[in-house]
Chain A
Amino acid sequence: MLKFVKSHLETITGIEIYPLISLVIFFTFFVALFWWVFTAKKEYINTVSRIPLDEQVKL
């Protein structure tokens, strides 16, 4: 897999690390995203989701 990247970008030193960095970025991003989503309080989620319907949502 790395050879595809390397053959085209070999003028950049240390290019091998790039795919690893991207993997880390993506993994962290989605783990964090799901962490936020699943730890959000149910009560809060319910209230927020009613914002379009209820003209007087209090938060």
Chain B
Amino acid sequence: MEVQQFYYDNKVVKKFIYATLLWGIVGFSVGLLLAFMFLFPNITDGISWLSFGRIRPLHTNAVIFAFVGNAIFAGVYYSLQRLLKTRMASDFLSNFNFWGWQLIIVAAAITLPLGYTTSKEYAELEWPIDIAIALVWVAFGVNMIWTILKRRQRHLYVAVWFYLGTFVTVAVLHIFNSLELPVGFLKSYSVYAGVQDALVQWWYGHNAVAFFLTTPFLGLMYYFVPKAANRPVYSYRLSIVHFWSLIFIYIWAGPHHLLYSALPDWAQNLGVAFSVMLIAPSWGGMINGLLTLRGAWDKVRTDPVLKFMVVAITGYGMATFEGPMLSLKNVNAIAHFSDWVIAHVHVGALAWNGFLTFGMLYWLIPRMFKTKLFSRALANFHFWIGTLGIIMYALPMYVAGFVQALMWKEFNAEGKLAYTFLDTVKEIIPMYWMRAIGGSLFILGAIVMLYNVVMTVRSGSKVEDELAEAPALTKVPKKRLRGEGYHTWLERKPVKLTIYATIAILIGGIVQIIPTLLVDSNIPTISSVKPYTPLELEGRDIYIREGCVGCHSQMIRPFRSEVDRYGEYSKAGEYVYDHPFLWGSKRTGPDLLRVGGKYNDSWHFNHMYDPQSTSSGSIMPAYQWLIRNKHDMSDTESKMKAMVSLGVPYTEDDIKNARASMDQQAKTIADNLLQVEAIQKSFEEEQKELGSEFVPLKEREIIALIAYLQRLGTDIKVVDVKDQLSKKE
């Protein structure tokens, strides 16, 4: 048989490794800045592009798509070539993948702090960037499948299936969740509204965790753990079951993010059932990974690569045990909206994704640069300080989560809520301190790794494409050979394998989403719910721009403690005009669904100017630029027209009279505010100072935001119920 010579492309792997290191440190550092904002809310006072709401999505996107994303590409480009005994099919596509991805990251790093966001978690980037992501992702997929078709290794190793599953599913998720109607260069509205938007978003959000943070990393685990331990995976049969059952079940679990919400019960229950089932394939995979080290545990004592991998797989096991538990309705009632969820995701991100990446890098880099690791002692130091960092991060956040949940739900002997929301915030500040220290330790470890890597690279030789040889594949019939099992046959048919994987993931999405989109009885309409006025619509866009949804939910669950604190629980029909939905997933501050009418206009004005003046001990940052900025309302009509095409019943008259209506509503609010002596005085002074450049109060952004906040939840405010219930806060 003819043996062919070819070169593995190592240079693209090197580039992705460098990008992983760079964006890792950036993403962790933004996270640390956010952690300190819980302690010093006004640390970036007055700098709008460094405000909490805007850089929280920067942190999540940087860690998920920049750090983990580049790590995936580095690992996939390295292992795929070697598993298939061929060079990547197209150097152009490899480089297009690399540079395109970095460009997208830079675009995200610029647009998110400037407030260009769709507000949908992990899908915040606006439509032009969404299109770029789709293009780059398809280039990655085409390059991968093309490489598979050119392979010299007949059978596709299980890691390759995980890569294929990742490619197709992320493509499907990204496209369907990003369906949005542009109203400007960097502004769009989700085509779905309210409950439907929430369902599609969490079908996406949950599966971004499943198919971006999990399946590609499982592929990497199935390649790099055997490599590092120098023995084959514990059970290849188990890995087959792991793959198919994981992708088949994972896709259904999204609704567990919406338990007790206004989502129809049947969809919630479906999400719970599948989430509980998920524990089986997840733990099967974890056990498979850990038992790969059978007979090699002595190496774990000395080899930092294996240490990182063991903690990574353990973290995967912990997070995937916790996930199904959190999906049970009784546990979710406690954990949801609290810091427990923050602990949960960081066990996943810091341990599973972080440590597997670190282990992979410590294994890869010496091999790429044909040298030894500069310092094993420093790698061990990184391991210990990183592990300590994870524990210091996660434990206090679990405690904080329980404290919040218990205090939120506590009633005193008179049957009234025992604590205000602010009481609960003040109580967990020590936990936020410990979390910030834990995060600092984790970053310290990453910086030590960076130094270790730089020194290793400097002592090594230049990265060159690696010569390899393998015989070409002989032709075999397309049909099954005599005695060949079905799955064995399928493993050499990459296109069929990909199609079946796609079918497996589509079933879950279709069953959950289509009925919610099509069957009217799932979203009962409420006749008193009307579309937002033009000014409220503009105010809502400011709410979206500032990322308020990062800390404030708009979803009151049907619990006595919540109805008592926030008002009548949420109904699906209240959200029918919400493109996008703004239910939120975390209550760092209180729920805002029924904040309308709770305070007067000047309270909101003062609260935005100096939150601590109205709410002593609050950790909300100030939003003074909203009071200074002139409100750009040049797009109002086109925004309303976009809403009309999405099904919001604005009439032509509504759109024609938008200016007059906005002016009138703004004037009422501005007049209310100017009745307050202090406000009136400061604006008069400003007018004297600025002369003709002075912007009247009614033309400023704060007015629209107040209009929106005062509207929230008022459509069905049940006065009687509110009066009957005790009032606290």
Q: Which of A22, A41, A59 contacts B155 (CB 8 A)?
A: A59
User: Taking the complex as formed, is A12 at the interface, i.e. its CB lies under 8 A from any CB of chain B?
Assistant: yes
B561: CB under 8 A from chain A? no
A52 near B519 with CB under 8 A, answer no
Most B CB atoms within 10 A — which of A10, A37, A44, A59? A37
Inter-subunit contact B223/A37 (CB<8 Å) = no
- Contact between B488 and A40, CB atoms less than 8 A apart: yes
Q: Are A56 and B470 in contact (CB under 8 A)?
A: yes
A29 touches B264 (CB 8 A): no
Given A40-B487, A52-B226, A53-B230, residue A5 in contact with residue B266 (CB < 8 A): yes
Would B157 and A11 count as touching, CB distance under 8 A? no
B83 within 8 A of A: yes
Contact across chains for A9 and B248 when beta carbons are under 8 A apart:
no
- Give the complex CA separation of A3 and B491 in angstroms: 42
Pair B236/A36 contact, Cβ less than 8 Å: no
Q: Which residues of B contact A8 (CB under 8 A)?
A: 264-266, 515, 519, 521-522
Looking at the assembled complex, report how far the CB atom of A12 sits from the nearest CB atom of chain B, in whole angstroms: 7
Does B183 belong to the interface (CB within 8 Å)? no
Which one of A4, A10, A41 lies within 8 Å of B265 (CB-CB)?
A: A4
Cβ of A37 to closest chain B Cβ, rounded Å = 5
Is the C-beta of B728 less than 8 angstroms from some C-beta in chain A?
no
Would you give the 0/1 interface string for B243-255, flagging 1 where the beta carbon is closer than 8 Å to chain A?
0110010000000
Interface residues in B69-88 by Cβ distance below 8 A to A read 79, 82-83, 85
* Closest Cβ neighbor of A25 among chain B residues: B507
The closest CB in chain B to the CB of A29 belongs to: B248
Residues of chain B from 233 to 284 with CB closer than 8 A to chain A in the complex: 233, 236-237, 240-241, 244-245, 248, 264-266, 269
Main DSSP-derived SS at the A contact region: helix
A20 within 8 A of B: no
Bound complex: CA of A14 vs CA of B174, how far in Å? Answer: 33
A17 at the binding interface (Cβ < 8 Å): no
What is the CB-to-nearest-CB distance from B345 to chain A, in angstroms, rounded to a whole number? 29
Closest chain A CB from B385 CB (angstroms): 30
Chain A residues within 8 Å of B236, by CB: 45-46, 48-49
Interface string of B626-659 (1 = CB under 8 A from A): 0000000000000000000000000000000000
Q: CB of B231 within 8 A of chain A?
A: yes
Beyond A51-B157, A52-B159, whether A33 also contacts B245 by CB under 8 A is: yes
Query: Do B519 and A11 touch across chains, with their CB atoms under 8 A apart?
Result: yes
Size bin of chain B's contact surface: 35 or more
Q: Judging by beta carbons under 8 Å apart, are A36 and B153 in contact?
A: no
- CB < 8 Å: which of A12, A37, A38, A57 contacts B153? A57
Q: Which of B153, B237, B470 contacts A45 (CB 8 A)?
A: B237
In-complex Cβ contact of A49 among B232, B265, B468 (8 A) = B232
Roughly how many angstroms separate A11 CA and B66 CA in the complex, as a whole number?
45
Our pick among B85, B227, B486, B515 for the contact of A36 (Cβ within 8 Å) is: B486
- Asked, given contacts A4-B269, A22-B511, A45-B237, whether A52 binds B522 with beta carbons under 8 Å apart, the answer is no
In the complex, how many angstroms separate the beta carbon of A14 from the nearest chain B beta carbon? 14
A38 to B515, CA, bound (A): 37
Closest residue of B by beta carbon distance from A35: B486
Residues of B within 8 A of A30 (CB): 245
Question: Which residues of A sit under 8 angstroms from B507, Cβ to Cβ?
Answer: 25
Q: Are A37 and B487 in contact (CB under 8 A)?
A: yes
Kindly state the separation between the CA atoms of A40 and B154 in the bound complex, as whole angstroms.
16
Given known pairs A40-B237, A45-B236, the reply for A52 and B223 (CB within 8 Å) is yes
A37/B237 in contact, CB under 8 A: yes
* Chain A, Cβ-Cβ closest to B3: A56
Q: Does the CB pair B511–A55 fall under 8 Å? A: no
Note all chain A residues with C-beta closer than 8 A to B154. 59
B520 adjacent to chain A (CB < 8 Å): yes
* A36 and B485 in contact, given A8-B522, A52-B226 (Cβ under 8 angstroms): yes
* Chain A residue at minimal CB-CB distance from B1: A58
B-chain residues with CB within 8 Å of residue A25 when the two chains form the complex? 507
Question: Which positions 204-243 of chain B face chain A at CB distance < 8 Å?
Answer: 222-223, 226-227, 230-233, 236-237, 240-241
Cα separation A41 to B244 with both chains bound (whole Å): 19
What is the CA–CA distance of A40 and B231 in the complex, to the nearest angstrom?
21
Q: Which residues of A contact B157 (CB under 8 A)?
A: 48, 51-52
Residues of B within 8 A of A11 (CB): 519-521
Distance in Å: Cβ of B494 to nearest Cβ of chain A: 15
User: Cβ of A50: which chain B residues have Cβ within 8 Å of it?
Assistant: 232
* Bound-complex Cα distance A23 to B728 (A): 48
A13 sits at the interface (CB 8 A): no
Are A41's CB and B485's CB within 8 A? yes
CB of A34 within 8 A of chain B? yes
Q: Are B233 and A49 in contact (CB under 8 A)?
A: yes
Q: Considering the chains assembled together, what is the distance between the CA atoms of A46 and B118 in angstroms? A: 49
Question: Which chain B residues (504-540) contact chain A, with CB distance < 8 Å?
Answer: 504, 507, 511, 515, 519-522
Q: In the complex, what residues of B have CB within 8 A of residue A59's CB?
A: 153-155
A44 to B237 Cα, complex, angstroms: 11
Q: A50 to B82, alpha carbons, bound, how many Å? A: 12
CB distance from B282 to the nearest CB of A (A): 16
- A51 to B223, alpha carbons, bound, how many Å? 9
Minimum CB–CB distance from B486 to chain A (whole Å) comes to: 6
CB closest chain-A residue, reference B486 = A36
A37 to B522, CA, bound (A): 41
Residues from chain B with Cβ under 8 Å of A57 in the complex:
153
Interface centre among B230, B240, B511 (most CB of A within 10 A): B240
- Could you tell me the distance in whole angstroms from the C-beta of A27 to the nearest C-beta in chain B? 12
Provide the bound-state CA to CA distance between A56 and B1, in Å.
13
Chain B neighbourhood of A48, CB < 8 A? 155, 157, 236, 491
Residue of B nearest to A6 (CB): B266
Q: Given the complex of chains A and B, what is the CA–CA distance between A4 and B270 in angstroms?
A: 11
A38 nearest CB across to chain B (Å):
7
A12 to B663, CA, bound (A): 47
B240 touches A36 (CB 8 A): yes
Among A9, A45, A53, the residue within 8 A (CB) of B231 is A53
Assembled-state Cα–Cα distance A50/B244 (Å): 20
Residues of A within 8 A of B155 (CB): 48, 51, 59
In angstroms, Cα B226 to Cα A37, docked, is: 21
| Additional A-B contact list (10), CB under 8 Å, known A39-B485, A52-B223 | A9-B266, A9-B515, A22-B511, A45-B237, A46-B232, A48-B236, A48-B491, A49-B233, A53-B232, A55-B85
What would be 29 A-B contacts, judged by CB atoms less than 8 Å apart? A8-B265, A8-B521, A9-B519, A9-B521, A10-B521, A11-B519, A22-B511, A29-B244, A29-B248, A33-B240, A33-B244, A33-B245, A34-B241, A36-B487, A38-B237, A40-B237, A40-B240, A40-B488, A44-B485, A48-B157, A48-B236, A49-B232, A49-B233, A52-B82, A52-B159, A53-B226, A55-B470, A59-B154, A59-B155
Q: Closest 3 A-B residue pairs measured CB to CB?
A: A36-B487, A49-B236, A49-B232
